[in-house]
Amino acid sequence: MAWKTLDDMDLNGKIVLTRVDINVPMADGRVTDATRIARIKPTIDDIIAKGGTPVMLAHFGRPKGQYVAEMSLSHILPAVKETLGRDVTFIEKPSREELDALPAGTVILVENTRFTNMETDNDPKMAQFLASLGDVFCNDAFSAAHRAHASTEGVAHLLPSCAGRLMQAELSALEAALTTPKRPVVAVVGGAKVSTKLDLLGNLVRKVDYLVIGGGMANTFLAAQGIDVGKSLCEHDLAETARDILKKADEAGCEIILPVDARVAWEFAANAKNEIVDVTAVPSDAMILDAGPASVDRVAEVFKSAKTLIWNGPLGAFEIEPFDTATNAAAQQAAAMTKAGDLISVAGGGDTVAALNKAGAGADFTYISTAGGAFLEWMEGKTLPGVAALG
């Protein structure tokens, strides 16, 4: 690794600016999933153990440079205290004097960095201001590392910088899955649209041995091969692009696995009347909402031959039963193989993690990323500015 970790830094008596991603989902004023907060705990604990004072910088939502009351990090504060198991002091507008006056080991949370455009513009003045507040910069926000903002990128150039424990874990897991994987490697890519995952597919066909394509985007590939997908979600205008991806995969020796059968329905609703048909026999008035059992068997065979799995996107309309069947079966198999020590499995993306957890499989995966957009950009082979700035 080109970047330093907390092990390389002298933190004793130092103020450690710590970029975290606690952009967590909330409903009715309560945090509904504190995973992202729980995952920064090792970093905060280590900084304190090393005699440092962690000053957490974080964003919450997309306030577009304005103060937006609902996007104040004060709403998250109770969950942060509870999850970290520590008292946390919330500061709206920090100054160096104020931070210097705090007893060592105090944990600070600074108000939403995105309440000024200077953050998202990566304004050097903001980066300088942030740097003036601390002695060391620790980036533990892998899931925000695809943003070149003052608190994720700019400030890293101005202070001695290192990766936090979660950043380290994310990068190691992703490298093990795609950079230096045990082969064969299988990638599962699903979701609604090919158009949002073109770069991803283009990069993966060069890196993996098998690429399982599922969800709505599989329909685009089927249609591109002359199959009538009826009323299914399908980007017909991307037929040429889909054929190009199939060709590139072929040249690179990557086998693309598309559904051979499907569960079709006549309305998008839970427990809608449905049928299993061959993909060549989709009724013209029906839509594909999930992969069928023969497709699941094929995916199972591929999983069995693989040593590494990287997963982004569900195989069907997993939010509504029974169209979660293929996703559940594949997820449970990956989990069982991982548990048996036969597979390294890494997954990321909000929808994906929800789907794996719904299948009861998430806990047995080797690694579940906290990142959505950053996970995708990393899988696309892009350089993440927040990571690059640590180098």
The residues that are catalytic are 36, 193, 350, 373
Residue 134 DSSP class: -
Q: Please choose, from the candidates 272, 273, 201, 301, the residue with its C-alpha nearest in 3D space to the C-alpha of residue 241.
A: 201
Q: Is 166 in the site for ligand 3PG (CB under 6 A)?
A: no
CB under 5 to 8 A by kind: which of Mg ion, ligand 3PG, none does 62 bind?
Answer: ligand 3PG
CB under 5 to 8 A by kind: which of ligand 3PG, Mg ion, none does 63 bind?
Answer: none
Tell the smallest beta-carbon distance from residue 20 to ligand 3PG (Å): 10
Q: Which CB, 143 or 328, lies closer to ligand 3PG?
A: 143
Q: Which CB, 21 or 290, lies closer to ligand 3PG?
A: 21
Q: Is 61 in the site for Mg ion (CB under 5 A)?
A: no
Does residue 313 come out as left (phi exceeding 0), alpha (psi in the -120 to 50 range) or beta? left
- Binders of ligand 3PG: how many residues, by CB under 6 A? 8
Q: Which ranges in 23-138 belong to alpha helices (H)?
A: 35-38, 41-49, 77-84, 96-100, 117-120, 124-133
Tell the smallest beta-carbon distance from residue 371 to ligand 3PG (Å): 7
Q: Tell me, residue by residue from 39 to 68, as one string, x for binding to ligand 3PG by CB under 6 A and - for no binding.
A: -----------------------x------
User: Residue 134: how many CA atoms within 13 Å on its side-chain side?
Assistant: 28
Q: Tell me, residue by residue from 18 to 47, as one string, x for binding to Mg ion by CB under 5 A and - for no binding.
A: ------------------------------
Q: What is the DSSP string of 360-375?
A: T-GGGSSEE-S-SHHH
Residues 6+ apart with CB under 8 A from 159: 17, 131, 134, 135, 136, 137
Q: Which CB, 154 or 372, lies closer to Mg ion?
A: 372
Q: Which CB, 21 or 46, lies closer to Mg ion?
A: 21
Question: Stretches 82-90, 240-248, 322-330, 368-376: which one binds Mg ion (CB under 5 A)?
Answer: 368-376
Q: Which CB, 25 or 360, lies closer to ligand 3PG?
A: 25
Q: Is 143 in the site for ligand 3PG (CB under 6 A)?
A: yes
Question: Stretches 85-93, 143-151, 267-275, 377-385: which one binds ligand 3PG (CB under 6 A)?
Answer: 143-151
Instruction: List, edge to edge, every strand of the sheet that includes 136-139.
Output: 88-91, 107-110, 53-57, 15-19, 136-139, 161-163
Q: What is the DSSP string of 161-176?
A: EEE-HHHHHHHHHHII
Q: At what angle do helices 239-252 and 216-224 cross, to 10 degrees?
A: 90
Question: Stretches 12-20, 141-149, 175-183, 309-317: which one binds ligand 3PG (CB under 6 A)?
Answer: 141-149
Residues 6+ apart with CB under 8 A from 228: 280, 282, 284
Tell the smallest beta-carbon distance from residue 142 to ligand 3PG (Å): 10
Q: Say which residue the tokens 């199939």 belong to.
A: 246
> Cα 57 to chain center, whole Å?
20
Check if the beta carbon of residue 2 is closer than 8 Å to that of residue 179: no
Look up residue 303 and give its two tokens. 């999983």
Of 124, 373, 380, 388, the one binding Mg ion by CB under 5 A = 373
CB under 5 to 8 A by kind: which of ligand 3PG, Mg ion, none does 143 bind?
Answer: ligand 3PG
Q: Please choose, from the candidates 112, 68, 69, 119, the residue with its C-alpha nearest in 3D space to the C-alpha of residue 93.
A: 112
For residues 331 and 357, give the distance between their C-alpha atoms in angstroms, rounded to a whole number. 9
Q: How far apart are the two ends of the chain, measured CA to CA in Å?
A: 9
Q: Is 124 in the site for Mg ion (CB under 5 A)?
A: no
Q: Is 147 in the site for ligand 3PG (CB under 6 A)?
A: yes
Q: What is the longest distance spanned by two Cα atoms in the chain? A: 73
Q: Tell me, residue by residue from 319 to 358, as one string, x for binding to Mg ion by CB under 5 A and - for no binding.
A: ----------------------------------------
Of 76, 144, 234, 329, the one binding ligand 3PG by CB under 6 A = 144
Q: Which CB, 21 or 140, lies closer to ligand 3PG?
A: 21
Residues near ligand 3PG (CB under 6 A) are 21, 23, 62, 143-144, 147, 372-373
